Structure 1
Amino acid sequence: MLDDDVAKFYALLPQKDALLVTRDPISALKAMCHVQNRPQFMLLGGELFGAGVNFSISAKDYFDKNLKYTNKFTNDKYKPKVASDKELFSDLPSINDEKIKWWLLDRAQSFHDGQVFALLKERLLRVKIKLTSDFVNAKETMRDLSEFFGFDYNESPLFCERVSDLKYFTPLKIYTNENMPFFDEINEPLSNSTEIDAQERMRISKEQAKSSIILHLSSIFDKRVYISKNRGKIASGEITEYFDGIEKHFVVFLENPTLRTQFLANQTLLNKAQKYILLASHDIYKKAQNEKTKHLKESDILDFLAKNTELRVLCATVFNVHLSFLREYKPEIIETFKHYNHFAKLCVNDEQIEFCDEYKTEREKMSKIGLDKLWL
């Protein structure tokens, strides 16, 4: 698989225990097809510049306008991606050939277990296998994993709450200086500007941000990311204790912890922030729950693939490689994949593509069905 250098790298890894978290491939594909996005997050000049709000823009209005579903994907990282771009984004999730091909053929995504474990096979001591559903209300799962891998387990609320629903909503930047230009003001005229103009305006905005009080409304999961990135700043950066009544899944941070004393001493600003974030946390959580009602079902994916032979064959080919480790060591788990087994029945009379061990040959086979340009 892949190439010789990658195989040599894996061969040099020390022998370890491993965790495989797996899921019915049709369920995984369904989740990928209703990926959401905040289009204002974009790359210019190689740097990510994040969106934000100030106290004059409610979180509800912001997400009503800017939270979209991705129609297709692009490698053009420097193209401004705005919510009004109907080619890239829509208000409802959708299924199409291009989107499914993107997820199937991107090696960085979810359908690579078979290839990875084929490379790791000689370096594995033991493998613990869990389903993604085991991590919903995951106290027992985490206790089991702590015994298997030998790490300390504590009763963190993170393991008994579902925070993934907030994935595309947090963190949200809140600019307390309402006169400071932030992303939405930069974004609006961007399509009529050169990249250099946009870069200059972002540079000015970033300079002003260094001395401005900017709050981050984040989920309890984001808190772990914050800790890993900021380490020593965590004690002074988190200010959740000053925000009574906010939705329990949220935490609040200062982007610049050195401004903590200045912020807390400004009672007028603190009161304004408390009022804004109290409403925002509950509005965002309600919005996240409402968005779940729009999500696709596995039956939608199966119906789409039933009508598309070429795509169905590609799915079957990728899934066969993806599930090869389970098929060899734990075939009974595959038997529990209800939707995948329904899919397999659709493929009974299809001519399958066989993946070969040589990466070059894989690309050649993809080329035969016109997918080589999507191979990432």
Structure 2
Amino acid sequence: MSEQNLNDDQDMLADSARKYIARGYGNAVREASFAHPHGCLPARWNEFAELGWLAMPVPEADDGLNSSLGDICVLVEELGRGLVNEPFVASAVLATMLFVDVAKPELRARYLPGVVAGSQRLAFAAWEPGISFDAGAVAMTAQPTGQGFSLKGKKSLVLGGAGAHAYLLAAMVGSDSIGLFLMEAGSPGLTVTPRSLYDGQRVADIVLDGVECAQALAMGSRDEVLPLIERAIDRATVAHCAETVGVMAAAFDITREYLTTRKQFGRTIGANQVIQHRMVDLMVEIEEARALTRAAASVFDQEDGGNATVRRRYSAAAKAFVARAATLMWEESVQLHGAIGMTQEYTLGHFVKRLAAASTLYGGAEYQLEQLASTVVDGSLAACC
């Protein structure tokens, strides 16, 4: 399958990630990660640090690599291809990059060395119960105290939240201001309840009942703070698309190998021309999904970070397409395999579950199309031309 003109550095990054996964991330490691209460094996997360992957989203001034989102997406696609369970997108892209956007120097010095070394893992609690994926619907409240702020409320579907060392979260301050806060795991009044998604990935639900020691990272009107949150989610959505493309590519390869070895009536299933046409259609879907994802990443990598409306337009368009392509991929791969494709014992079954979960995570196709439509209605259509 085409790599769509990666540069030399990206080729080496993809190759090293593939070799690492082939050498050290087999089914036994994946099952151990699923079984771990945090869905993240500490030894593997430390290896990610040693490989420099956790330094990629961190600026050079903070001893990171300051990698572009395009480069990060190259890595993340390979993690998806290897069905890596550790929450790289949730922690390194969503949470860490948001922290970098808003944290003051003293907090950066306190947390980022540990993030790069793998000893600190951040999570962003972006959503609240019953509000789907609308990050602007914030009911959690914050009241100033002598030590910082007291927070009260709930967050749900906290990606990478199981076992995180600190949490970023948004809360209302008064009736018309919103704040972005940092809170240490283990703070009195904080309850973290891990749970598993359909595909085995760990997330968390958190309840804050008067947590007294939250630190403010950013505070202001909704028009000032909400764009910071939306930018972080849009950026992570693009990385999630890249991860999903990798899962799709792996499912495609598994299905193709099955069709070229499984025989019925004296010849391989893949010799049937109708089957070949269906496989070509899937290959085109994957290539288009990859192209849209990389186009969206390039918008974030512009010198000025891209126009907010254009970023939202590209991330929503990419996710809407990838969500539908992921659904098509798992449905077709199961049909082409027959019942064996859904079994836990067969490799494809794990990829099918990941694709089914990925099609709705960060918002499904319908939600993203609504977001895309809003950028056309509310934003300047000429902004992307």
- TM-score by structure 1 length? 0.26
Higher strand share: 2
- TM-score by structure 2 length? 0.26
Structure with more contact order per residue of length (Cα contacts < 8 Å, sep ≥ 6): 1
